[in-house]
Amino acid sequence: MLNRRTFFQSLTAFSWLPFTNATEIRPDSSTWPKPSDPPYWRWIRQQFPIPADEAYFNTGTLGARPQQVIDAVIQHMRENERTIAHYDYRPEHVEYITGYRKYEDLRTKLGALLNAKGREIALVQNATVAISQIANGLDLQAGDEVLITDQEHSGAQGGWDLRAKRYGIVVKKIPIPIPANDPGVILQRFADAITPRTRVIAVPHITSKYGIVLPVRQLCALGQQHSLFTLVDGAQAVGQLPVDVQEIGCDAYASSPHKWLFAPPGNGLLYVREARMKDVWATIASGNWDNYKSEDGIFRLMQFGTGNLSNLIGLEAGLEFHQSIGSARCFQRIAELSQRLRAGLQQIKGVTIFSPVNSALACSIVNYGVDKVEGTRLMDELWRRKKIRVRAQGGMAVRQTSHIYNSPAEIDATLEIVAQLAKA
């Protein structure tokens, strides 16, 4: 029977080919474009099946996947179906058809990305599921308080609101300035909101709508001072900027690798600090629902019945794609593109930037608007004129998120259209 690791290695052995033919021989790496050269990034762009005349700037909703990730998923699904009668359901083969295995290798790789142990990482479907695991899993009583922001994604807020409606906890929404350019103001507002009944601080690492990088390290330190459970929603962070859960000091961290880490939709991760695992009950119960005392106590939080191993193969392929380029190189490229966009927008009269311009709080998510131009019209005009895809945010704004598959030329084309609309 085909070994899972051997099979995956056979898929990724050609990880830097354009994927025209998997039987091609991998080229000598000395022939590749150099990372500092524009041809390198053009070549990276060619690894994505997005048509060359289209610019995709909506990674904040769903990231694009390179061909190697798509191929890894499809080839695994085909091989799985071809050999389905070979599975004799011995324990060592169960992982091919169920979601009950531990996948230690993949969890260790993801843990290394976050500076965590593999046994502190649970594989789940997305950040919404991860956050709901915490919201439902903590022992909270009626009247206990949870501090969140007033800019939560609905998937991050919903679990707490449900708990409040069913069991009487109190969810306090701390207002974040728009635009936010002073981390001290944010920290002070949370500090002022803490009472003897406060039990949890749950905040986004990066806010989804405005792209505010919150001072999560200081907020988690504040939580520790008051013996609070601290949860960070990193759906928009992992793959966009460095994430070190030890430095952040959080008790739990959730993310959605389908945004910035090139993974297929349906992949998520949840980190829980080992010392805190005993404080989180399983929400979905299966065979190991009560295993928190074991060496791999978080395993119970990733047992959700029959799963899709092909999707996990895609997650691993996405992570390998990211690491083949290099995390630092990806982060730098993303930052350079977003800085170019912000700088250009600041020079256009009639444009308002709602996202931070302070580098300490800014990231690739840029929310902006043009005077007297509805956000949906701005979105439509960018697509109609140059096939540039951004996302309207309601009212007078759009959100534009740059990733490594974008280019300075696409940023400049955006700015040209925005300037034309601002003059009209």
pLDDT in tens, 308-360: 889 999 999 999 999 999 999 999 999 999 999 999 999 999 999 999 999 99
Q: Which residues of 303-335 are buried (b: 16+ CB within 10 A; e: fewer)?
A: bbeebbbbbbbbbbbbbbbbeebeeebbbebbb
DSSP structural state of residue 373: B
Using alpha carbons, list the distances in angstroms from residue 381 to 136, 155, 198, 302, 317: 43, 30, 47, 43, 35
Q: Do domains 93-317 and 329-423 have the same CATH topology?
A: no
Structural tokens at position 147 = 């501090």
* pLDDT tens-digit map of 104-133: 999 999 999 999 999 999 999 999 999 999
Rounded Cα distance, 269 and 232, in Å: 12
Classify domain 329-423 at the CATH topology level: Aspartate Aminotransferase, domain 1 (3.90.1150)
Which range is least confidently modeled, 10-24, 78-92, 196-210? 10-24
pTM above 0.85, yes or no: yes
Q: Are the C-beta atoms of 413 and 382 separated by less than 8 Å? A: no
* pLDDT tens-digit map of 226-257: 999 999 999 999 999 999 999 999 999 999 99
pLDDT score at 39: 87
Where is pLDDT greater, at 36 or 261?
261
Q: What is the mean pLDDT of residues 204-221?
A: 98
pLDDT score at 94: 62
- Which amino acid is residue 65, in one-letter code? R
Cα angle value 74/112/218 (rounded, 5°) = 120
Banded pLDDT at 8 (limits 50, 70, 90): very low
- In DSSP notation, 238-294 reads BTTB---HHHHT-SEEEE-HHHHS-PPTT-EEEEE-GGGGGGB--SS--TTTT-TTS
All structural domains of the chain with their residue ranges: 93-317, 329-423
CATH class for the region spanning 93-317: alpha beta
Residues in the chain: 424
Which range is least confidently modeled, 65-74, 196-205, 298-307? 298-307
Where is pLDDT greater, at 306 or 266?
266
* pLDDT tens-digit map of 375-394: 999 999 999 999 999 999 98
Q: What is the mean pLDDT of residues 56-77?
A: 96
Residue 165 CB coordination number (10 Å)? 10
Q: pLDDT at residue 268 above 90?
A: yes
Q: pLDDT at residue 1 above 60?
A: no
Q: pLDDT at residue 293 above 90?
A: no
Using CB atoms within 10 Å of the CB of residue 183, give its burial: 0 to 12 exposed, 13 to 18 middle, 19+ buried. buried
Q: pLDDT at residue 163 above 60?
A: yes
Rounded Cα distance, 325 and 34, in Å: 11
Mean pLDDT of the chain: 89
pLDDT score at 3: 42
Q: pLDDT at residue 16 above 50?
A: no
Rounded Cα distance, 235 and 180, in Å: 20
Where is pLDDT greater, at 21 or 155?
155
